[in-house]
Amino acid sequence: MKTNNNNNNGTNSNNIVNVRSLAAKKAWKTIRRKRLERLIKYNRPLEYYNFDIDRGKVTYAYYEIRAPLIKPSKLTFNDGEGKELSDGYALNFAIGCTHACRFCYVDSIHKRFTLSRLNNNDAIARSWGMYLLIPSKESFEEALSKTPWQRWKGKEVMLSSTHDPYLPELVKEGYTRRILEESLPEGVRYCIQTRSTLVKDDFDLLLKYKDQIRLQYSIATLNNELARLIEPRVPSPKSRLNILKEASDKGLRVGVIVAPILPFQGWLDELVQIFKELSSIKNIEVYGESIHVRGPNMEYMQEIGLPIDTKYLPKFDKLVGDHFNALLTRYGLKGRYWYEYSSI
């Protein structure tokens, strides 16, 4: 795969997936060896940077969650700045995320703050995607009952900002539905942000309170091979689009975040194809952003053979924003591009 360091947008999005060549593997092994040597030298936990979907099992553990479940969040829209994700609140009820997206930066937050708060829990020391802490049943039910839901009546809350609320493990425990059952009758509104198809199981409840729900998916690519690399445990892009179309047809308000947009050859062709798919979905809002440099996410991307020239990202961000907003106009879609750098 080539990193696009100029304005050549590429002519064939299939160029994206040519990442498993012998040369790429050789370079990857060299980079990995040097990084491991550096980590050993500075006594850094090796699994912080090493991930293999087929190696080992995810570490699961319980933790004690406390009320209130809703917390302030900076992921909010405010006078044209920020992101249209909430009215300034988020509800996170798990630590970690088994989707294992390599571009995600939440891992660095947990390792900086959550690790010490939970007495250096060994699970959090593992690589992103290899740990998930869920609330104990007793503490969850107590937090659920003690959260004053009416305080957020009419407010939109992001569900969720540091993990997918519809991870299989959370759905199995019934936690996501219990939260909705308790809070929706109290007037809480939600932006449900997910990459999972399991949200379909709650369509009956969401439709009952459809005026309080915005169902929003994240889609980075329509290319299954690339998706498998960057979001290894996420349902296919096509399956997510199908759920989104079904939700829209049933009357739910829906949206998509096209993210992260990656600076690889053929990115514009890819973006156009995504917009063509989204234009067939009724009453959809479309947002987008390029990949951001956060925590170890550039290292994770490099590990899977997709190095990114970070010096090019400000220029790329501006270029993508121009095309993204033009495509919104071209296809008559509502939405906005979220600039990481200045849009000027």
Q: What three-state secondary structure class fits 54? A: coil
pLDDT band, very low/low/confident/very high, at 25 (cuts 50, 70, 90): low
- Give the H/E segment covering residue 248: helix 237-250
Burial 67-101 (b: 16+ CB within 10 A, else e): eebbeebebbeeeeeebbbbbbbbbbbbbbbbbbb
pLDDT band, very low/low/confident/very high, at 49 (cuts 50, 70, 90): very low
The whole-number pLDDT of residue 146 equals: 98
The residue ranking higher by pLDDT, 242 or 118, is 242
User: Tens digits of per-residue pLDDT, 170-203?
Assistant: 999 999 999 999 999 999 999 999 999 999 999 9
Q: Has residue 97 got a pLDDT over 90?
A: yes
Per-domain boundaries in the chain: 13-337
Q: What three-state secondary structure class fits 336? A: strand
Residue at 151: amino acid letter: R
pLDDT band, very low/low/confident/very high, at 119 (cuts 50, 70, 90): confident
The whole-number pLDDT of residue 337 equals: 97
The whole-number pLDDT of residue 295 equals: 82
Q: What three-state secondary structure class fits 219? A: strand
Query: How many angstroms separate the most distant Cα atoms in the chain?
Result: 58
| Packing angle, helices 267-278 and 313-331, rounded to 10 | 30
User: Tens digits of per-residue pLDDT, 134-172?
Assistant: 999 999 999 999 999 999 999 999 999 999 999 999 999
Q: Has residue 44 got a pLDDT over 50?
A: no
pLDDT-wise least confident of 66-70, 112-116, 191-195, 318-322: 112-116
Q: Span 26-30, mean pLDDT? A: 60
**Which phi and psi (to 5°) does residue 288 adopt?**
-160, 160
The whole-number pLDDT of residue 18 equals: 46
The whole-number pLDDT of residue 118 equals: 83
Residue at 269: amino acid letter: D
Q: Span 198-216, mean pLDDT? A: 97
Q: Has residue 36 got a pLDDT over 60?
A: no
CB 303 within 8 A of CB 102: yes
- The whole-chain average pLDDT of the chain stands at 86
Which is nearest to 176 in space by CA: 152, 211, 200, 210?
Answer: 200
Q: Span 120-147, mean pLDDT? A: 92
User: The whole model's pTM is what?
Assistant: 0.84
Q: Span 65-78, mean pLDDT? A: 87
Share of the chain above pLDDT 70, in %: 81
The whole-number pLDDT of residue 299 equals: 87
User: Tens digits of per-residue pLDDT, 99-117?
Assistant: 999 999 899 889 888 887 8
H-type helices in 263-333, by residue range?
267-278, 297-303, 313-331
Which is nearest to 279 in space by CA: 215, 331, 325, 320?
Answer: 331
User: Tens digits of per-residue pLDDT, 247-295?
Assistant: 999 999 999 999 999 999 999 999 999 999 999 999 999 999 999 998 8
- Given the candidates 3.30.930.10, 3.30.70.270, 3.80.30.30, 3.20.20.140, the CATH classification of the domain at 13-337 is 3.80.30.30
Share of the chain above pLDDT 90, in %: 68
